[in-house]
Amino acid sequence: MKKSDLKFLQLLSKQYPDILTASTEIINQKAILNLPKETDHFVSDIHGEYEQFFHVMRTGSGAIRNKIEDVFGNTLSAREKKSLAALIYYPEAKIKRMRHELDEEDLQDWYKVSLYRLIGVCKEISAKYTRARLHESLPSDYQHILIELLSENNRVPQKEEYYNEILDTIIRIDRARDYIIAMSQAIQTLTVTRLHIIGDIFDRGPGPHKIMDYLMEHKNVDVQWGNHDIVWMGAASGHMACIANVIRLCARYDNLSVLEDGYGINLIPLASFAMETYADDPCKCFSIHSVGKGNAKEKSLNQKMHKAIAIIQFKLEGQVIRNRPEFNMESRMLLDKIDYDKGTVLIDNKEYKLLDTNFPTIDPEDPYRLSKEEQHLMDRLCLNFRNCDKLQEHVRFLFNKGSLYLCHNNYLLYHGCVPLEEDGSFRKATIDGKEYAGKDLYDILEYYARKGYYAQEDQALHEFGKDIMWYAWSNENSPVYGKEKMATFERYLVAEKEVHTERKDNYYKLVDNEDVANRILEAFGMDPVNGHIINGHMPVHTKEGESPVRCGGKVMIIDGGFSKAYQPTTGIAGYTLIYNSRGLRLVSHEPFTSMEDVIEKESDVHQSEVIRDFTARRQRVADTDEGEEIREKIEDLEELLHAYRTGLILETE
């Protein structure tokens, strides 16, 4: 035996010190291989819409409703099944309503019936878990009793009285509410094993910080960074252009409260600067996309803040482009293309009239230089972002649990695209003097993004990494952006629609080609025959007949419009994907209205199956990446057994 192999087995023997413990673990791992595959839940482009997201999580994208159907079939009416589903989704609110509606005797009966039904659903869901895993998933305060309820067979006469007595006692000592809530939450937890967020948690909606808090409490989650995530990651690292983008988007969608209340970032200096600089300017080009009415004074201030940070953004981005010529983004430098006397701008050698010509902070001789006041403001904002504990905690979580892509159980997950030439070949991009394409481009961008946040001891590397996060946010060669340009300036200040167009990457028209999809899968080390690509980023316009399913099902683009800003054009409120041992379901969602509608009307957000692809043979753990890891572990343990039995390693007494 090689010295390195012997050393590894000696280390393994610390965990399994004798033949008994090693043998027991082999038996346990062999058995796990034959359990049904755990359930994966794929969600993309949440964009701060926390109410819709939380409801989708509570329902498991319809998986809980399907389990209720599996358990009860025709033995319950449709209304009873809806009522049970509402109880599982929102147990506290449902119980409160029933306490109000029922007298004491009827309430006791409802408790008992509900507990029996919840146990039935929970048993069905927990069947694919080991006892140890079940223990981990159940609330610790209720663990012992819940395990008893889930493991006992009440059809066995000898156990029937024992089983019933547990339920009767729970009700008699006024603990039914707590156990119903605990069991409902356990069903929510056990229904979905692993959650995959395929990018864009932030921007547009009012609660990205609430979503991040939820994800940090989730026991098994990964995140594939989207462009809206990475710009926040850049902002947290102190990159001023990223900070300006983050604030501008919050202003544009009337979500400055995300920064002020959600993260405690002080925006009073920006408000003071905006009021002083644009005092008599109506800032009409910088309107607010707001669902609430608000008062005129507040709206006026928001628009001034919106314009102030947008002008600062244009300057800061111009500085980055000028300092990084290899980004090849000179066409996005437009402040120096303005004729400030005529009020026009030159774009692609064509002159356009500006909708707004009041730029008091821009020096035509040096348009990208921040004024003294702007520089002071950005220094203060940068300090606030860098010192915001909650934001830093959230961004560290994104780095720890996230990446630009993930290969998982024959699924390749990434947010945007793989940049392609018109002929379907991988487009090359120059990063730090070298050319990268395909998977290599993903890898180098992630490498530098991590350096931009963590490598503070190497200032040059740290600064380049921060610039790369901004590059990933907006460059045409960025796989998380995937458009020719980000036409922010044009959309604000030029009326002609021709300059507003942000042409999509060739990926989005070529990914229907099976050869192209297979080449992408192969580049990431995936099996092109059985592999699938899942990404989001580009809203699927369902109202216009677009489909999220591409290339015969090999590719699924699941951005269906969680963001309310997109729903008028998409026609729905998001796609999600559920992949369990029986196969996969792609689900479309209608907008979430309120918890009250679910409880009072016993209505659910309508969830329609777009595709349902079930296999004849249930997939087992053995068929997954986890199964491969388990087989490798078993091989190591069998080597350890051999070493014990031959005396190569001695058992520890």
pLDDT digits (tens, 9 = 90+) for 127-142: 888 888 888 778 888 8
Tokens of residue 158, six digits = 């000898």
Alpha-carbon distance 595 to 613, whole Å? 31
Angle 577-582-585 from CA coordinates, rounded to 5°: 25
Could you report the per-residue pLDDT of 177-233, keeping only the tens digit for each? 999 999 999 999 888 889 999 999 999 889 999 999 999 999 899 999 999 999 999
| End-to-end C-alpha distance for the chain, whole angstroms | 24
Q: Which of 565, 571, 575, 574 is nearest to 543 (CA)?
A: 571
> pLDDT, tens digit, for every residue of 403-431?
999 999 999 999 999 999 999 999 999 99
Q: What does pTM read for this prediction?
A: 0.92
Exposure letters 174-190 (e unless 16+ CB within 10 A, then b): eebbebbbbbbbbbbbb
The token pair that represents 240 in the structure block: 């001023």
Q: What tokens appear for 354 in the block? A: 């500006």
Neighbouring CB atoms inside 10 A of 652's CB total 10
Residue 47's pLDDT band, with cuts at 50, 70 and 90, is very high
Q: Which residues of 420-445 are buried (b: 16+ CB within 10 A; e: fewer)?
A: beeebebbbbebeeeebbbbbbbebb
Please tell me what DSSP assigns to residue 622: G
**pLDDT score at 610:** 64
Residues in the chain: 653
Q: What is the average pLDDT across 133-159? A: 77
CB 231 within 8 A of CB 473: yes
Residue 428's SS3 state is coil
Secondary structure (DSSP) of 554-612: TEEE-----STTTHHHHSSS-EEEEEETTEEEEEEEPPP--HHHHHHS-----EEEEEE
C-alpha–C-alpha distance, residues 200 and 211, integer Å: 11
- Integer Cα distance of 634 and 643 in angstroms: 14
Contact 482, 505 (CB under 8 A): yes
pLDDT digits (tens, 9 = 90+) for 343-392: 999 999 999 999 999 999 999 999 999 999 999 999 999 999 999 999 99
**Measured at the alpha carbon of residue 546, what is the angle toward residues 541 and 549, in degrees to the nearest 5?**
115
pLDDT of residue 48: 94
Query: Residue 300: enclosing H or E segment and its boundaries?
Result: helix 296-323
Q: At what angle do helices 208-217 and 50-59 cross, to 10 degrees?
A: 30
pLDDT of residue 570: 66
Hey, which residues does 483 pair with through a beta bridge? 504
119: three-class secondary structure by DSSP:
helix
Yes or no: say if 556 and 548 are a contact pair by the CB < 8 Å rule.
yes
The two beta strands, 344-347 and 350-353, are antiparallel
Name the band, by pLDDT with cuts 50, 70 and 90, for residue 153. Answer: low
What gap in Å lies between CA 617 and CA 93, rounded to an integer?
39
Rg (CA), the chain: 28
φ/ψ (deg, to 5) at 555: -125, 135
For the cut 80, the answer to whether the pLDDT of residue 590 exceeds it is no
Q: Which of 233, 216, 221, 197 is nearest to 448 (CA)?
A: 233
Tell me the sheet residues that pair with 194: 40
pLDDT at residue 605 tops 60: no
Distance CA 575, CA 585 (A): 10
Q: Which residue has the tokens 């988007």?
A: 249
Number of H helices, E strands in the chain: 27, 17
The two tokens of residue 427 are: 């487009």
The model's pLDDT over 261-288, given as tens digits with 9 standing for 90+, comes to 999 999 999 999 999 999 999 999 999 9
**Domain spans of the chain, in order of start:** 3-34+625-645, 36-59+197-224+404-417+511-619, 61-191, 226-403+424-510
Three-state DSSP at 514 gives helix
